[in-house]
Structure 1
């Protein structure tokens, strides 16, 4: 709105604002006197007091109003400044009331600073976060000055403690002086006083005080030892004089005699012997002095002589043990007999007797040693030592190389356990001493004697014996000369080691005690084949097993596998046919037999044809029409001969027969998609999901179908639906993670996936794969290790570790991984890439190392 022009003009003369509206202007009494009254008579003077007073009142009012006008006309004064202190900053002034708050920021910790919320500015948020992460991952080499400064601070603190304040030293001197006067014969006061003077570098005063202490408390060995310490900077003769005077007053002090020997020249053995023998005159039962004297002797005869004397005077077992070790067999037995009579409650006498027998008689049996120890335990009392003490002694015997003595100790110790809790206690003790293979295997052997039909005990015994054999084999390989040729090495390896013979004997014992159990026969054959490298022996074991257990499919399959691994395909084919004749009711045998035929046809072997393969497959389906694996196998056979329609038809029949099997529907959808019929594949999966909505394989196949068709919106919607149906499925969570494009957004998704799947192996491995694709190989390796540790049966985890060692790791680590996968090869049965490689007809006879390489190649190709 525009401002009116008259508002900026001067008012006309005589203008009074508001008069036109009936308002009356403000006038003083002086101004009103100038106007003529309309009535008259108002200004008539009245000669009395009231008139005088009235005039004075007007003057007073005028002065008041004039003062008001004068004060109002003055410019306003600035407000009085507050006493607060103003603090200059880069952007303004902080008043005093904020200065205390700012000072309080000094007490804020680094973690509290880091926890402060970010500002609301979200521009370039991702880039700023990425830069922050990069800065947090950087490492810097710390200069030596940092460590040096810390060391200097420590030295300064130590010096400050030593350089105490003079008044503190004087105060302590006064206190100690008072103590010396009060109790002059108390050695600790003199020692403390001498140490105080030594701290302030007053060595003369310290020596004088300790000398006075020796005079006041001559029978205290500590004060003499302190005196020797303070005088070590002086000639040795001074210290010898002090120790001689000390020994005159303390003849029975072991520490003083030992100090006297230490003062002698280490090469002056004669003088040290003289002092030791002089000390033994006063302390004939002191084991430390006897041990020192024995150590000073050089010849075996002198040591035996001194040890014989020491055993007569001392009850220390170490002298008896040393004497037995130095004596011949006959003398050692005599020594042990004397020890048994003198040390009636010492179990180590009998342990030494066992070790002596084992040392001198190589053919002594564990049974003989066990009976000896049983007699000894009755003599000394079974409650002299507890079970742990006996097992510790057995473990020590194992470390010393007395394995038979170890077994005898364990056998007798296990008989001490109560029958009610014996089995559980024996298992616990075996687990406790797992680091001592011989001790643990002896415990398991005792379990098998008490409980011959306990399968877990037998398997634990075999595992312990194999560990023991591996340790022995490694030590033997280290002893072999590096220059040995291949022929010598072959001759050495062809001989059956003694530890393997022991393992085989236990297998035979287990089989004889459990003749109807196939597990021990299979384990025996496998170890004979792998550890002993004896294929013929393994073949004989399995042949005998199939004769005694002719209807056991595992034995027949093991026989076929042995022949395939040794490239005897025709023999494997013959055994597979015999297995079908013996057991015609097991679909697994038919599946394995047809798989072998597929391999033989692929290799174009003349003893089998494509017609035989098709006929066997048809016969198997007629016998087992409800087995979905046979339908899948039949479709693969038809696809091998490019009969796509026949494969589609057989899958359709299988879907009708096996309605709850997701694998057939997945195979049908993949076949349709490969033939270019995505709509038919989608319809098939939709109908299958209606019947089986909880199948993660169907959901995964449908999601992959939409991804193949580049319909990412539908794929994301399917992932959301699948997570509602299967919130803990690792497969669906991996699909969800693959939908997240930016790696910075995956962090929270990783945590959610791990939480909902309970750290599933597939998720651990999938996270490692994401880091691998981003080029963060060290992080990927950490997740691969976690996955392999969580489940060693997952072949994909082995494959990704092999990928890392091939790309980044040293060759020896890759070789170690190949050796480990060879040991666990038969137990690995998980992982899509692993199963795909092992189930391929062309890979029936590949070795574990070759299989791992193929799995690694397949994993890299799927992530390319």
Structure 2
């Protein structure tokens, strides 16, 4: 800066200029008296006012300068420390006077950047931060490496500050050493003086003072008392220890379950409940203070305290409630309840309540209930009736506690006080004699002319006294009278009244019938009578009101006498009621009304036969012959009656007459010829059977059963060629008969002509596609030949052809390898969930896996889905039989625990499961099944029962490997 030339101005102009800021005259000539920063350097101090000023050094004129200089120096010094660009010197330029150009601005910017870089804080910040981090890490390392002595060094130094009082307040910790005790213990013998002193303490002394004080001359040995007390406590502890040992050994007399139950009955409030109780207490307190005459607030507060376990506080609140709300019966009743209704306090509270509210029925009833003696109860109730004579509740309570004579007098008075209450009138009528009861009911009817119950009671009264004929008149008069009083006749209410008459004790059946006859057609359109009456009869029958249903059925017969279904429903109702005489009477009336309806004749004959009256059944059928001489169903019913009763000659004669009657060959159906063949087969007359079947085939060539029976006849006589001819001729006549194709294929297998059997079944599938039985027979043929691969392929084709066939899916589950059976069963259930064959196959899987509970459930499901299938019942029986056999042999000790009857073994059961299955099968009387149907149709088994057939079919299934896993 020394090289910058001075401005070219004259001296005069220079003197006229304004001196620069901070100019000091003479400083350039070395004038004294002035001390500048160049001499001593700048120094900054802070005044008391918090203002920063420049402090000059010492010198001759150490105090020179003024406030302006100080302030200027201070500003300059601050600017230097802050790194600003205000030079405040000779060459300072003002930005506002135009002398400050762009070069100056750039220079200031550069110098400011240089000053900022050279600032000590910015330059050393990173280095200082690194040093701090290193010191921090070093300190942490030192803390980690400190010993216990070093860690507690500062605390030990602070012990010097503890006073003597604080030292004395520190408690003794005792001996908590964990050192091992020595293997032996040292005992110091007690000195003789100590023993003698102990003996003296146990001695007792009698003194004269005892006599003077009224004693008995003996003093109490406190030591003995203490020992006795300790002995008693020891005995108790020993008893508890013995009970604990007994409970561990299983012989405890304490019931641990009951003990735990009593513990669980103790209520322990949680913190949340306590908090809720406090909040509720504050809220109820606010309610009580706001409205002290509000009884529910007091009652709620008392019950809150009761729940919280503070019974005393609850009682206090209840008493305060009675004082604050003396006219609230709820407050008095609550107070009595909290104090105990039967206690003296409770009775006293109720007495006060009665004085405060003498007309409160609830308080009088509670006061009567508080008494244990019936005389006292009656006395309380009589006192109550003096105050509230029109309370029906009080009258009823008093009558219930009184004898019959007293009750009659009370009810007479009650009807005077409460004449509008029908219950009192009816109760009085029940207690009175017949004549007086009639008078009472007449008076009640005058008082309450619109009450239905009075008329019904009058009808029941007449019926009970042997005047049943009056019932219908009374009910009809009741309907007419009520209509005259503009009372709506509600049909449903009257029908329910009839149901009540039937179910009450004693029954009032005449009244029941009278009501039904009077109101059955009320508000029912004539076109809807049949449906409405039938629906009502079914509904009442489901509810067990058979007399109401019977009356409705009779009304239906009166309105629709030509309807066969109505007669059948009426007969079925009598059968369900076990009223076989009534059923026979209905059927006799039906056959009289409708003699040409053969179903009524057949039903009448069958029911007599089922009741064991074979002669009566024959009589009915003879009458049916007379009324319907050309009816084929009656001929067949007569044949079945004789056939089932082993009257084969009579049965054959009946069928022969049916075939030989005029025009019989043309009018008889194929069933007559089939039954004739069956009868001949049972009589072991092969020639007669062959002749009948030949004539039957000629008359009915499309009836395939005759062709199959003819073929089976030839097979029984080993005439296989004749049987083949019959099958071939029959298939030409009936090509769509899949059973005949199967019969022919089985004949081929019987003759060991497996190739021909395959061809027959292939032709059957072409003629009758999508027939599962044909596919299943083809699969069975392949299995008989041992061609399991071909059988599997054929079964797969069958499932593609018949994806919804249950028997094919069941065969697929059975034929699959064991690991694949579960997947096959899932596919089968998806395809046909409710098919009995699939359900039975799944049950067999559970059986093989020893999941016996599930197996039983699935077998039962299959039998429920198709009860007419005998194969299902046989498999179910086989399952139960195997379990019982294994249990009998002792092989199911572990498995039997998994069965549903876990509480008892098979031997302990009341009835055998397999016997139950046989009973259910006999009730279902199955007639279908691949194995069952041939067994039942075999003429050698025609007299077998269901149980015997089940055993034979089971043996056949086992021989064919049906139950092999």
Do structure 1's residue 589 and structure 2's residue 687 form an aligned pair? no
Q: Match of 1:463?
A: 572
Q: Match of 2:681?
A: 598
Q: Classify 1:833/1:421 alpha carbon distance in 2 versus 1 (closer, same or farther; 3 Å).
A: same
Question: TM-score if structure 1 supplies the norm length?
Answer: 0.72
Q: Match of 1:839?
A: 937
Q: Match of 1:406?
A: 512
Q: Which moved more, 1:239-248 or 1:391-400?
A: 391-400
Q: Match of 2:167?
A: none
Post-superposition Cα deviations, 1:367-420, rounded to whole Å, max 9, x if no partner, equal: x64454333233334974644433333333332244444344334343122334
Q: Match of 2:531?
A: 424
Structure 2 distance, partners of 1:751, 1:341, is: 76
Do structure 1's residue 375 and structure 2's residue 454 form an aligned pair? no
Structure 2: gaps of 5 or more residues: 1-136, 138-253, 885-905
Q: Which of 814, 822, 825 is residue 750 of structure 1 equivalent to?
A: 825
8 Å CA contact 1:294–1:306 kept in 2: the answer is: yes
Q: Aligned-pair distance for 1:436?
A: 0.9
Post-superposition Cα deviations, 1:688-713, rounded to whole Å, max 9, x if no partner, equal: 22222222222111111111111112
Q: Match of 1:478?
A: none
Matches within 5 A, 1:316-335: 316-335=421-440
Q: Aligned-pair distance for 1:344?
A: 2.4
Do structure 1's residue 784 and structure 2's residue 859 form an aligned pair? yes
Structure 1 distance, partners of 2:511, 2:732, is: 68
The higher-RCO structure (CA 8 Å, 6+ apart) is: 1
8 Å CA contact 1:564–1:845 kept in 2: the answer is: no
Post-superposition Cα deviations, 1:88-130, rounded to whole Å, max 9, x if no partner, equal: xxxxxxxxxxxxxxxxxxxxxxxxxxxxxxxxxxxxxxxxxxx
Q: Aligned-pair distance for 1:629?
A: 0.6
Q: Classify 1:148/1:847 alpha carbon distance in 2 versus 1 (closer, same or farther; 3 Å).
A: same
Q: Match of 1:212?
A: 320
Q: Match of 1:523?
A: 603
Structure 2 distance, partners of 1:761, 1:383, is: 58
Q: Aligned-pair distance for 1:569?
A: 2.0
Q: Which of 747, 755, 762 is residue 837 of structure 2 equivalent to?
A: 762
Q: Secondary structure at the match of 2:931?
A: helix
Q: Classify 1:415/1:169 alpha carbon distance in 2 versus 1 (closer, same or farther; 3 Å).
A: closer
8 Å CA contact 2:584–2:604 kept in 1: the answer is: yes
Do structure 1's residue 264 and structure 2's residue 371 form an aligned pair? yes
Q: Match of 2:191?
A: none
Structure 2 distance, partners of 1:834, 1:339, is: 71
Q: Aligned-pair distance for 1:832?
A: 2.3
Q: Aligned-pair distance for 1:677?
A: 0.7
Do structure 1's residue 670 and structure 2's residue 746 form an aligned pair? yes
Q: Secondary structure at the match of 1:415?
A: coil
Structure 1 distance, partners of 2:598, 2:872, is: 31
Q: Aligned-pair distance for 1:638?
A: 1.5
Q: Match of 1:720?
A: 796
Post-superposition Cα deviations, 1:166-200, rounded to whole Å, max 9, x if no partner, equal: x7656544443443333222212322333344444
Q: Classify 1:718/1:437 alpha carbon distance in 2 versus 1 (closer, same or farther; 3 Å).
A: farther
Structure 1 distance, partners of 2:953, 2:394, is: 69
Q: Match of 1:96?
A: none
Q: Which of 706, 710, 715 is residue 630 of structure 1 equivalent to?
A: 706
Matches within 5 A, 1:185-264: 185-232=293-340, 236-264=343-371
Q: Which moved more, 1:314-323 or 1:587-596?
A: 314-323
Q: Which moved more, 1:450-459 or 1:508-517?
A: 450-459
Q: Classify 1:171/1:770 alpha carbon distance in 2 versus 1 (closer, same or farther; 3 Å).
A: closer
Q: Classify 1:337/1:200 alpha carbon distance in 2 versus 1 (closer, same or farther; 3 Å).
A: same
Structure 1 distance, partners of 2:936, 2:527, is: 48
Post-superposition Cα deviations, 1:807-840, rounded to whole Å, max 9, x if no partner, equal: 5575376666556555543xx4322233222211
8 Å CA contact 2:814–2:821 kept in 1: the answer is: no
Post-superposition Cα deviations, 1:47-79, rounded to whole Å, max 9, x if no partner, equal: xxxxxxxxxxxxxxxxxxxxxxxxxxxxxxxxx
Structure 1 distance, partners of 2:955, 2:426, is: 62
Matches within 5 A, 1:445-484: 445-469=554-578
8 Å CA contact 1:564–1:572 kept in 2: the answer is: yes
Do structure 1's residue 811 and structure 2's residue 911 form an aligned pair? yes
Q: Match of 1:701?
A: 777
Q: Match of 1:564?
A: 643
Structure 1 distance, partners of 2:862, 2:378, is: 65
Question: TM-score if structure 2 supplies the norm length?
Answer: 0.64
Matches within 5 A, 1:53-452: 158-160=267-269, 164-165=273-274, 172-232=280-340, 236-265=343-372, 268-298=373-403, 300-314=404-418, 315-361=420-466, 364=468, 369-381=471-483, 384=488, 386-400=490-504, 401-416=507-522, 417-433=524-540, 434-438=542-546, 439-452=548-561
RMSD over aligned Cα, in angstroms? 3.3
Q: Match of 1:50?
A: none
Q: Aligned-pair distance for 1:541?
A: 0.8
Structure 2 distance, partners of 1:249, 1:641, is: 108
Structure 2 distance, partners of 1:854, 1:383, is: 71
Q: Classify 1:202/1:727 alpha carbon distance in 2 versus 1 (closer, same or farther; 3 Å).
A: closer
Structure 2 distance, partners of 1:321, 1:813, is: 54
Q: Which of 489, 507, 511 is residue 587 of structure 2 equivalent to?
A: 507
Structure 1 distance, partners of 2:569, 2:327, is: 63
Structure 1 distance, partners of 2:328, 2:544, is: 48
Q: Match of 2:807?
A: 731
Post-superposition Cα deviations, 1:404-440, rounded to whole Å, max 9, x if no partner, equal: 4434433434312233433333333334331315033
Q: Aligned-pair distance for 1:284?
A: 2.2
Q: Match of 2:173?
A: none
Structure 1 distance, partners of 2:410, 2:828, is: 74
Q: Classify 1:670/1:204 alpha carbon distance in 2 versus 1 (closer, same or farther; 3 Å).
A: closer
8 Å CA contact 1:162–1:200 kept in 2: the answer is: no
8 Å CA contact 1:800–1:859 kept in 2: the answer is: no
Structure 1: gaps of 5 or more residues: 1-79, 81-143, 470-498, 602-608
Q: Match of 1:829?
A: 927
Q: Aligned-pair distance for 1:749?
A: 2.5
8 Å CA contact 1:251–1:282 kept in 2: the answer is: yes
Structure 2 distance, partners of 1:209, 1:861, is: 87
Structure 2 distance, partners of 1:274, 1:242, is: 18
Q: Classify 1:461/1:248 alpha carbon distance in 2 versus 1 (closer, same or farther; 3 Å).
A: same
Structure 1 distance, partners of 2:444, 2:954, is: 66
Higher-Rg member (1/2): 2
Q: Aligned-pair distance for 1:673?
A: 0.4
Structure 1 distance, partners of 2:613, 2:350, is: 73
Q: Classify 1:432/1:655 alpha carbon distance in 2 versus 1 (closer, same or farther; 3 Å).
A: same
Q: Aligned-pair distance for 1:777?
A: 4.2
Q: Aligned-pair distance for 1:310?
A: 2.8
Do structure 1's residue 691 and structure 2's residue 800 form an aligned pair? no
Post-superposition Cα deviations, 1:194-252, rounded to whole Å, max 9, x if no partner, equal: 3344444544443333223212211110111111122228x833332221221122111
Structure 1 distance, partners of 2:752, 2:808, is: 25
Q: Match of 2:903?
A: none
Structure 1 distance, partners of 2:912, 2:433, is: 48
